[in-house]
C-alpha cells in the first residue's frame, strides 16, 4: 500500500508541471514576432498591447503619461475545438483603440483615461470583465517597459479581497514575456 501511495505521489509530482503549463497557455503570449503582448483574453478574443505604438506624452518624473495601441484579436473556434488552445492557431484583428496611462513612480500608481475622464486603477481590487478593464495593469506595464526599458510595478504587492491574500500586481512570468 505504501509503495502504491509513493508511486501515485511521484506520478502526480511529474504531471503537475505539465498540467500547469497547459492551463496557462490558452492564448499566445505574443503575436507579430513579439510586438503584440497578450494583456487579456476570454471567449476566443485576445487583447494585445502593441509595443511598437508607444508614445511618451509626458515625461516629468515622478509623473509620466504614455499612450499605447491595444489590438483585439479573434481566434479560430475550429482550432480550439481540435487543440483546446489558441496557441499556434489562426487569428484575425477585429479592432483596436489607443489606451492612455498616467503613472506616479513614487506612489506606484496608475490612472487610465476613460470616456468620462481619468480613473485610478486600484491595486487592492480584483477586476473582472463585468467590472471593466482587467487588462489595465498589464497594458500599462507593457507601455512603461516599452518606453523606458524598466519595470514600473516590479514586485509591488496588492491585496486580493477574493483570495484574501497579497499577490504581485504583475507576475514575474509576464516580465519574462517582455524580456526584462
pLDDT digits (tens, 9 = 90+) for 13-51: 444 344 334 345 799 999 999 999 999 999 999 999 999
Query: Does the pTM of the predicted model rise above 0.75?
Result: yes
Nearest to 109 by CA among 134, 70, 136: 136
How far apart are the C-alpha atoms of 167 and 160, rounded to whole Å?
A: 7
What are the two backbone dihedrals, phi and then psi, of residue 23, each rounded to the nearest 5 degrees?
-70, -30
Report the pLDDT value the prediction gives residue 10, as an integer from 0 to 100. Answer: 45
Give the chain's count of helices (H) and strands (E): 4, 9
Report the pLDDT value the prediction gives residue 3, as an integer from 0 to 100. Answer: 64
**Contact indicator for 111, 118 with CB cutoff of 8 Å:** yes
pLDDT band of residue 9 (cuts 50, 70, 90) is very low
Check whether 8 has a pLDDT greater than 60: no
pLDDT band of residue 163 (cuts 50, 70, 90) is confident
pLDDT tens per residue across span 62-120: 999 999 999 999 999 999 999 999 999 999 999 999 999 999 999 999 999 999 999 99
Nearest to 42 by CA among 8, 72, 7, 78: 72
Within 8 A by CB and 6+ apart from 43, the residues are: none
How far apart are the C-alpha atoms of 76 and 61, rounded to whole Å?
A: 43
How much is the average pLDDT of 134-154?
96
**Contact indicator for 150, 104 with CB cutoff of 8 Å:** no
Report the pLDDT value the prediction gives residue 16, as an integer from 0 to 100. Answer: 38
**Contact indicator for 37, 51 with CB cutoff of 8 Å:** yes
What are the two backbone dihedrals, phi and then psi, of residue 10, each rounded to the nearest 5 degrees?
-60, -45
Amino acid at each position: 500500500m505504501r509503495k502504491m501511495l509513493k508511486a501515485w505521489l511521484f506520478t502526480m509530482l511529474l504531471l503537475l508541471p505539465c498540467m500547469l503549463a497547459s492551463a496557462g497557455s490558452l492564448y499566445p503570449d505574443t503575436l507579430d514576432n513579439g510586438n503584440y503582448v497578450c494583456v487579456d483574453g476570454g471567449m476566443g478574443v485576445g487583447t494585445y498591447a502593441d509595443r511598437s505604438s508607444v508614445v511618451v506624452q509626458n515625461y516629468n518624473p515622478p509623473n509620466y503619461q504614455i499612450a499605447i495601441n491595444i489590438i483585439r484579436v479573434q481566434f479560430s473556434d475550429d482550432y480550439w475545438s481540435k487543440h483546446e488552445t489558441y496557441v499556434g492557431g489562426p487569428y484575425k484583428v477585429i479592432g483596436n483603440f489607443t489606451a492612455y496611462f498616467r503613472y506616479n513612480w513614487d506612489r506606484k500608481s496608475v490612472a487610465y483615461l476613460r470616456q468620462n475622464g481619468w480613473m485610478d486603477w486600484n491595486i487592492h481590487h480584483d477586476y473582472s470583465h463585468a467590472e471593466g478593464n482587467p487588462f489595465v495593469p498589464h497594458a500599462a506595464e507593457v507601455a512603461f517597459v516599452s518606453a523606458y526599458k524598466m519595470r514600473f510595478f516590479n514586485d509591488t504587492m496588492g491585496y486580493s479581497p477574493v483570495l484574501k491574500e497579497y499577490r504581485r500586481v504583475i507576475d514575474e512570468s509576464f516580465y519574462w514575456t517582455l524580456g526584462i
